[in-house]
Structure 1
Amino acid sequence: MTMAAAIESRNAGASAWSKSSRIAAVDIFADIDQAETVWRSLENQHHLSTPYQRFDFLRPWQQKVGTREGLTPLVVVAYDLDRVPLLLLPLVLKQGWGVRSAHFMGGKHATFNMAIWNRDFAAVASRADLDVVFAAIHQRESIDLLAFQQQPLTWQDLPNPFALLPHQTSANDCPVMAMMPGASETTRISHSMRQRLKTKERKLKAPPGYRYLLADSDADVKRLLDAFFRIKPLRMAEQKLPNVFAEPGVEDFIRDACITPRVDGGRVIEIHALENDSEVIALFAGVADGYRFSMMFNTYTVSAVSRYSPGLILIRHIIDHYAEHGYRTLDLGIGSDSYKKLFCKADEPIFDCFVPLGPRGSAAAIAMSAANRSKRLVKRNPALLLLAQKLRRAFG
């Protein structure tokens, strides 16, 4: 469905949506566990959200990472007159520079942020509906600013209702690949690239036990994560980058989410790997929802076989795996790394919106908006980006 068609569908459905079904009540939970029942009920319904908003993804993040960062949960649920949940906002509170602000849960570990929407309501939600929710948040929590960053304009071909708010393009785009069910494999990866990767892969197959796998047992998950947390610090140090996976609670969060099964099959975070009997050669992990796979983190061996492009070979396996399972879209995470562009030729626009809920919030929104525009300028200017990278390495 095109964006125009989706918007037309939104408008066509609005007249059929009863006034009695608009937002009639708003609950706010300061404890994520207290919201579990309604959260899971929305997930199990006809809903619209990304896999990064799953309860089983955000609960361990909040417990293991958010709490250590001093972030307080703020889970906002809006209902119609019949107490049917229409949307859930998984937020955390931050206090700084005299401003009390709310942000999406998940921090840097959630590539995409959204509310969890009743899908029918998402198709007709208006700015007035959003204002009802925001007014309740401000009134009950005295929040100055809602900082909603890294949001997709659409998800599963439906518009994100928060795009109705004043917004700006995020600092980074997301390289993305569309996959048509039943299409030839060369529509995803060209014949020439496949041949090059197969030639390289023959080198990897020399040691005994070479295999590609999607971790489907607890033992697989543990073995692969043990390798990841051993190899990743070496790769980060090699690039003179800070190891974000060494931050307090992050490893515990990732291990929890990778081991937790999904109701619809698979794991909350799915791990793909190339390995042989003596080592893990490459590892990529991400979230999946039956429609899209979204990459979260990766690493590859520091041994001599790294010269055979094991990361690219693994990406080819992953793309083919999800295409064969009927997925429509795949992304390799936000950012402009050159390897992503080898596979994902299109850029998906991501947006931020800063919603002030008072005078102090207005000043903070202006400052945050300007800071994000500056980041985007740096990211899109090679000279400025190189300077920023040098400074980060020098002072990081």
Structure 2
Amino acid sequence: MTMAAVIESRTAQAHRPMSGIALIEVISDLAQAEPVWRALEVSDNLATPYQRFDLLAAWQREVGVHERATPFIVIARDAEKRPLMLLPLALRQVFGVRVASFMGGKHSTFNMPLLDRDFAARASAADLDVVLASLRKHGGADVLAFTQQPKRWRDLANPLAKWPHQPSVNDCPVLLMPPGAAPTALLSNSFRKRLKSKEKKLQALPGYRYMIARNDAEIGELLDWFFRIKPVRMAEQKLPNVFAEPGIEAFIRNACMAQLGCGHRAIEIHALRCDAEIIAMFAGVADGARFSMMFNTYTLSENARWSPGLILMRSIIDHYAQQDFRALDLGIGSDDYKRMFCKDDEPIFDSYVPLTARGRLAASSMAALGRAKHAVKHSPALFRLAQRLRGAMQGRGGAPQSEAKTED
């Protein structure tokens, strides 16, 4: 595949008056795609913070290369060559099938294109047909496997929901934060009182405070602590240490250090600490309207008894409510601690779209597997059976299937 392929198919030309898409570029070089990518990141357009260039470029350099994933960046332009949409994809060979999926892998909670806001508001099924026709003509991928896509972002629908889709395997609990909502509308008084009672024990510690890491030294110290503590916590849960996989630590460190134009970091770190130790930390992405948690852990000391993770989460919610954020989530999955804070669910979906004859069977198999996993996760009886089987496999020394990134 050439570094950049430009496709201007008869299909695209035929739909041009309706859709505005005149050509599709497929680019395999991050640096070449960077100017368009950053232009579509601006707040006037539509994009999630998981698709920021700084975040995904770090992932591709540190993780994608180990997974033998190559950039497959799709840019849709209008007749004046203005960018309308960018799909930040990575291409992998899976059992001989070329699968294009969103960069970021399991470390991205939400996957969406970066979109010109006007185009996102008027995009039709015909627009998406142009993209598919052009990708089929290009021939670089056999199937599109797009998981964990939000149906809406901010106030606009996700155009990719116009493709055939199905519910994602897992739900994503979300806390909605209406403008001007009282603190008790976000967290009940009784819950706040329980946390306040526990926090009194921590407040007695010299130097106790809530903080957001603002400089490289603070970020480095918190990450050094995280990478010491997290493996212990995961071992306690009999889970594999996903942070020990090739490139993951370097990816996280680079993304946490990456400074955005607004002065924030690509991944922001919140923590509770005192003079003697770091007590808890949460790290996630924010875009001015929503905070989305990526990873967390808490101390191994006796201070863990006072629920520092829950106290930190309350502090994060209060912080972003004061910043007029509209939503907050703790990542995919319905762990009990997430439901303490997040009472609603974010509708998310998966799409498996074949581009070639070879891709048809792969798309059908992926969709069927996704539906089966969804059925298990949403049936208490099936889920309990799956948990027992997993426990039996672990007892025999088999690898556990769950790769949790968060903790209660």
- TM-score bracket for the superposition, by shorter chain length: over 0.9
State the partner residue of 2:296. 298
Q: Which residue of the partner structure matches residue 220 of structure 1?
A: 218
Give the TM-score normalised by the residue count of structure 1. Answer: 0.93
Residue equivalent to 1:55: 53
Distance 1:378 1:233 in 2: 28
Matching residue's letter, 2:214:
D
Distance across 1 between alignment mates of 2:317 and 2:192: 12
Report the equivalent of 1:169.
Answer: 167
Q: C-alpha separation between the residues in 2 aligned to 1:81 and 1:230?
A: 53
Equivalent position to 2:41, from 25, 40, 43: 43
Which of 241, 244, 248 pairs up with 2:242? 244
Q: Which runs of 5+ in 2 are unaligned?
A: 1-15, 400-408
In structure 2, the CA distance between the partners of 1:358 and 1:20, relative to structure 1 (3 Å rule), is closer
Alpha carbons 2:18, 2:126 under 8 Å: kept: no
2:123 to 125, 129, 138: 125
Deviations 1:56-76 (A, max 9, x none): 010000000011110010011
Given candidates 142, 160, 163, the residue that maps to 1:144 is: 142
Q: Which residue of 2 is the match for residue 91 of structure 1?
A: 89
Segments of 4+ in structure 1 off by > 4 A?
Answer: none
Secondary structure of 2:333's aligned partner: coil
Farther off after superposition, 176-185 or 222-231:
176-185
Please name the residue that 1:8 is paired with: none
Secondary structure of the residue that 2:381 maps to in structure 1?
helix
Q: CA deviation at 1:21?
A: 6.8
- Partner Cα separation in structure 2 for residue 236 and residue 166 of structure 1: 37
CA contact (8 A) 2:280 2:308 kept: yes
1:262 to 232, 244, 260: 260
Moved more, 43-52 or 117-126: 43-52
CA contact 2:177–2:321 (8 Å) conserved in 1: yes
* C-alpha distance after superposition, 1:163-199 (max 9, x if no partner): 1111000011110011122221111111111110000
* 1:150 alignment partner, SS class: strand
The question of whether the paired residues in 1 share the 8 Å contact of 2:283 and 2:296 is answered with yes
In the alignment of these two chains, the number of paired residues is: 379
Q: Name the aligned partner's letter for residue 48 of structure 1.
A: L
Q: In the alignment, which residue of structure 2 is the partner of 1:7? A: none
Question: Which residue of 143, 153, 156 maps to 2:154?
Answer: 156
Contact 2:47 2:113 in 1 (8 A): yes
Kindly state the Cα deviation for residue 389 of structure 1 after the two structures are TM-superposed. 3.4
TM-score by length of 2: 0.90
Consecutive unaligned residues in structure 1, runs of 5 or more: 1-17
Q: Which residue of structure 2 lines up, in the alignment, with residue 14 of structure 1? A: none
- Give the distance between the partners of 1:81 and 1:342, measured in 2 at CA: 50
Q: Contact 2:19 / 2:126 at 8 angstroms: preserved in 1?
A: no
Are the counterparts in 1 of residues 41 and 52 from structure 2 also a CA contact under 8 Å?
yes
Is this contact kept in 2: 1:74–1:91, CA < 8 A?
A: yes
Per the TM alignment, residue 382 of structure 1 is displaced from its structure 2 partner at its CA by: 2.7
SS of the aligned residue for 1:95 comes to strand
Moved more, 88-97 or 375-384: 375-384
Aligned-pair Cα RMSD in Å: 1.4
% of aligned pairs identical?
60
Shift of the alpha carbon at 1:259? 0.9
Decide whether the 8 Å contact of 2:19 with 2:127 is kept in 1.
no
> Among residues 346, 363, 366, which one is paired with 1:365 in the alignment?
363
Contact (CA 8 Å) 1:176, 1:332: kept in 2 or not? yes
**Native 8 Å contact 1:104 1:148 kept in 2:** yes
